Structure 1
Amino acid sequence: MAGVWQQQVFALDAKYNAHRAPNHPNFRTLYIRRRSQLLREYAKGEDTVLRKQYIKIRSQLLQQRYGLSFDQSSLRSRSARSSSRISESPESSRLQQESIMSEQGIVVPTKQAEASRAIVGGTTIAENYAFVGVHHIFDQHTAAVTVLKFANNDRSHLCCASFDGTVSICNVTATPPCVEVILRGHKKAVTDCDWSVSNDLMVSCSLDGTLCLWHVATQKCLRVVKDQMGSEMLSCLFQPANNNMVVAGNSRGMMEVLNVSTGIYPRGGSSKLGGKVLGLAFDSSGQMLWAGNDKGVIVSFLFELATGRLSKCRRIVVAENCPITCISWRAWISREARDPTLLVNCAANVVCLFRVVDKEGSLQLRRKFSIRHKNYLVRSTFCPIMSFRQGACVVTGSEDSCVYFFDIERDGKACVNKLQGHASPVLGVSFNYDESLLATSDYQGLVIIWEREKRPGSEKCRGNPS
């Protein structure tokens, strides 16, 4: 991992940054950005005794000035407590102790994948994902930012959904990066959002029991639809083959299909899942849907494109009473391994990788990765162009305030990079389409845009924006 001690210094400053000039938030953002720049420019190299001693002394000085305890062990493992703590069941304990690998073997391309290596100039997976520099920091939100999504096939536009009841759209490649608009239409926390395929529309849902349809260009709310059961709405997703349709999940365990053009819930478009529906994922055809709830259950559904009807197919218990907070689908991980795959965050301190084994959405557990995750809506994502490389990465947030990069091919230590810039649990993660920038968000509402460490010839590895 590159720049471990620099990241520890940055994490230390981020912890105390809220106490610097509390009446001048612009200064706080400028300070932490400048701090990151200085670390990159003047502090390159491996760890030394002197640099570790510097971190220790700086920690003591900051503690004396602001009166907060923040030792080095807390840099590596911090976990905030929640008032709505999830109970730990025997099933979750069993999941922690037992291997959930369903079979032995390599999931992604072998080391003989010369074509994949040639595309990225022969660099290692760790070098490809050496995100160490801070490109920009956004702090427009006053509460947790739980969902981040870059627009489809777009390098620049990032959507942030926050518990402060707003949705913001940022341009991260502008000079300087800026917040283009803050969408205000919900009365309570925004729990999810999604872009349409063409990025002209956006949908968001909220604890106020409404779903809003936004026109991105005019920044206007085109339609507000109430949940048909009057419940809190927790998740929403455009139907990829028909953007007139949106699927939403509510706090009473119902899956609901909504025609956003008419504001009507079509007949047959509702199905009972149980619990609270926290995570949704479609396959690319839009005919298969997976939903996860706060009971640790994932259910697959068949979606009829013509009518919007949902048909329940398969049910799998990942970890009893441990919420499924995020589901991501990927058609194929590499040129040599084309099995459809689900990436799942489960609040049993694991990120799970599943293989989709049939046309009814049945899942076969392939791999798990350990992170800190028990209380919050932690999310993960596939790296978007990993299929062109030897090896494949996924990225996840964690309640220890770190961002983890896992190589799903490695049999041993899978973590190839760890970012330590947040001072509270990291909830949202999102790549832009060419992987040049990574966005991460935390429980305090801070959004950090990370940029890849530039290497000679690296620009040849990325596609140019259209």
Structure 2
Amino acid sequence: MAAVWQQVLAVDARYAAYRTPRWPQFRTQYVRRRSQLLREQAKGGEPEGATRRWYLRVRARLLAQRYGALSEAGSCRGHSGSALRGSRTTLDRMEDFEDDPRAPRGHRRSLSRGSHPGAPPERPPGVVPTPLAEASRAMAGDTTLGENYAFAGVYHVFDQHSDSAVPRVQFAHDDRHLLACCSLDGTISVCRLAPGPPAVLRVLRGHGAGVADVAWSLANDVLVSASLDATLRLWAPADGRCIRRVADPDGAALLCCAFQPLNNNLTVVGSARHMVRVVNISTGKAARGGAGRLPGRVLALCFDAAGRVLWAGDDRGSVSSFLCDPNTGRLTKASRVVVQAGGSITSLSARAWASREAPDPSLLVNACPDRLLLFRVVEEEGSGAPGLRLRRSFPTRHREQPLRSCFCPLMSFRQGACVVTGSEDACVHFFDVGRSARATVNTLQGHGGAVLAVAFNCDESLLASSDATGTVIVWRRQHA
């Protein structure tokens, strides 16, 4: 039974809050210890399948008698038998990552940049994968999409933001082991996963209220954070210094931020007073002409791969686009599309293509309530402005929280493609963008609250997910 140990951990995580109601600091510690015990059990030899199934049934029955029945069914619901066999999201292969002789060490660039042995060279701009890309197909090892996104278990659990939601986790660019987490406790933590044991390198303090978003500069030498205290701050992650503090001119809470990919001297921020502003981080001043207004609070921002189009989502269910001059930061309003009337757009991610089978620019959107949407970016006839055409819609549990999703970074090298999203059912969900039905590829359980954010590192060897209780789980991909 490939999913048994994962189900055990999921049960533990869900009931952790009830076991220690007076000592919330022990919740993550319990789950971490439980994960360790399961790993030791796996090293000592796996019990027979019938024994494991019996253990899970008895455990679930005892917990149900004491604490009541679970509100959700097990992690296998909605999976076919073949999907379950392909899914290896378990804790029965929890050997130490650093002990694995096959595990790459140190810094390694993304496969999309041609650094992996046998990888094709870096593609010039405008070239997209084709169905005849044999080298790209070989990189996937002739494995199925489900096998590509199978996980060997929990690599590490961080709990430095205990009991305060972590709305954003972000790996540094082209770095496998450097991770930033922002929290509603008003701090940002910079974590190193290797070499050596995983550790929190430093905690950045200074914001007077919760931090809603954080982003790395392209060179990873600067972090920018947007806070509910109405300030944007620039940090030096190497030593934790606050380089600059920029107050919002309207005194509004700042809810999201992003660097201009072609000019990291510019960063864009979205506010609770419906404004999008471009800020020059060298001077701390707003760029001339670099402001735009949306119908609602700005909850999500992202640039396209070329850095020419800025996408912004608000709490009125609309997605707006701006043309951005990368030299000056000037914004020109291009289009607005109502994606979810009466809802909220909580996450936006742009890619130059989705897969070899979908070579068009794509936009991934979390839309409340209960939708994860994949759009094809098209040019509106007569105007030249970017427009959106719906390609796929995936069901999610999304009613209240600011959920985030992302593209899997190496998708363009594989037959098929995946996206991953957080969910209010305390799970991480993977969807195949090429399937119109039964699109679920994998489901990770282990969080004790709504999963707010997800992020892959550059080579997809590790996935980080954060939740509303302050827990950050780093998962190790099985075929990394």
TM-score of the pair, normalised by structure 1 = 0.85
8 Å contact 2:209–2:229 — kept in the other structure? yes
Structure-2 residue corresponding to 1:368: 393
Provide the residue aligned with 1:187 in structure 2: 208
Q: Provide the identity percentage.
A: 49
- State the match for 1:389 in structure 2: 414
Give 1:69-148 correspondences, 5 Å limit. 69-71=68-70, 73=72, 75=74, 114-142=134-162, 143-148=164-169
Match of 1:266 among 264, 287, 312: 287
Shift of 1:29: 5.3
SS of the residue corresponding to residue 185 of structure 1 reads coil
Structure 1 residues 353 and 24: alpha-carbon distance in aligned structure 2, compared to 1, 3 A threshold:
closer
Aligned counterparts of 1:447 and 1:23: Cα–Cα separation in 2: 14
Asked if 1:214 is matched to 2:214, the reply is no
24, 27, 33: which one pairs with 2:35? Answer: 33
Instruction: Check the 8 A contact 1:3/1:46 in 2, yes or no.
Output: no
How much does 1:350 deviate?
Answer: 1.0
Q: Do the aligned partners of residues 42 and 273 (structure 1) sit closer, same or farther apart at CA in structure 2, a change above 3 Å counting? A: farther
Q: 1:128 to 1:77 in 2, by over 3 A?
A: closer
- Displacement of 1:55 in angstroms is 2.4
Cα shift readout 1:419-438 (whole Å, capped 9, x = no counterpart) = 11112111110000000010
Q: 1:170 to 1:328 in 2, by over 3 A?
A: same
CA distance, structure 2, for counterparts of residue 444 and residue 295 of structure 1: 27
Which sections of structure 2, spanning at least 5 residues, go unmatched?
A: 78-127
Counterpart residue type for residue 319 of structure 2: I
Q: Supply the AA of the counterpart residue of 2:35.
A: R
The structural deviation recorded for 1:182 is 0.7
Q: Relative contact order: is structure 1 or structure 2 higher (C-alpha 8 Å, sep ≥ 6)?
A: 1
**Distance change in 2, residues 1:60/1:38 (3 Å):** farther
Q: Distance in 2 between matches of 1:45 and 1:112?
A: 44
In terms of mean alpha carbon deviation, does 158-167 or 109-118 score higher? Answer: 109-118
Match of 2:3 in 1: 4
Change (3 A) 1:41 1:126: farther
Q: Which amino acid aligns with 1:282?
A: F
**Contact residue 109 and residue 390 of structure 1 kept, 8 A:** no
Q: Which shows bigger deviation, 329-338 or 314-323? A: 329-338
8 Å Cα contact 1:5-1:47 kept in structure 2: no
CA distance in 1: counterparts of 2:239 and 2:293, whole angstroms? 36
Q: Deviations over 1:180-219 (max 9, x none)?
A: 1111111111100100000000000111101100012121
Q: Equivalent residue for 1:380? A: 405
Structure 2 length normalisation: TM-score? 0.82
When structure 1 is superposed on structure 2, of 441-450 and 409-418 the one drifting more is 409-418
**Deviation for aligned residue 1:14:** 1.4
Contact 1:6 1:43 in 2 (8 A): no
Amino acid in structure 2 at the alignment position of 1:429 = V
Number of corresponding residues: 422
Task: Give the AA of the match of 1:409.
Answer: G
Aligned to 2:321: 300
User: CA RMSD, aligned part only?
Assistant: 2.5
Q: Tell me the distance in 1 between the aligned counterparts of 2:319 and 2:34.
A: 40
Structure 2 partner of 1:315: 336
- Find the aligned partners of 2:228 and 2:58 in 1 and give their Cα distance: 45
Out of 283, 296, 305, the position equivalent to 1:275 is 296
Of 364, 370, 376, which residue of structure 2 is paired with 1:349? Answer: 370
Deviation at 1:45, TM superposition (A): 9.1
Distance 2:55 2:281 in 1: 56
Name the CA shift for 1:362/1:11 in 2 (closer, same or farther; >3 Å).
Answer: same
